Amino acid sequence: MPNQRLLNRIAIVTGSSQGIGREICNQFFEEGAQLVCADLRPTGQGEEVPTHDWIVQKGGKAIFVKTDVSNADDWKALIANTVEEYGRLDILVNNAGICTEANNPQPIDEVDEAAFDAHLKINTRGVFLGCKYAVQQMKKQEPHACGLRGWIVNFASMVANIGMPAGYTASKGAVAAMTKTIALDVAKQGIVANSICPGFTQTAMLDNALGGALSSARDAVLAALPRGRFGEARDHARAAVYLASDDAAWVTGVNLNVDGGLTAQ
Alpha-carbon distance of 98 to 108, in angstroms, equals 19
Closest CA to 18 of 51, 60, 64: 51
Residues 48/75, Cβ–Cβ less than 8 Å: no
* Count of positions (residues) in the chain: 265
Angle, CA of 128, 130 and 135, to the nearest 5°: 100
Alpha-carbon distance of 197 to 50, in angstroms, equals 26
Angle, CA of 215, 201 and 233, to the nearest 5°: 135
User: Got the DSSP string for 203-261?
Assistant: SHHHHHHHSGGGTTHHHHHHHT-TTSS-B-HHHHHHHHHHHTSGGGTT--S-EEEESTT
Residues 236/201, Cβ–Cβ less than 8 Å: yes
Active site residue 168: yes
Catalytic residue among 86, 133, 168, 242: 168
Residues that are catalytic: 168
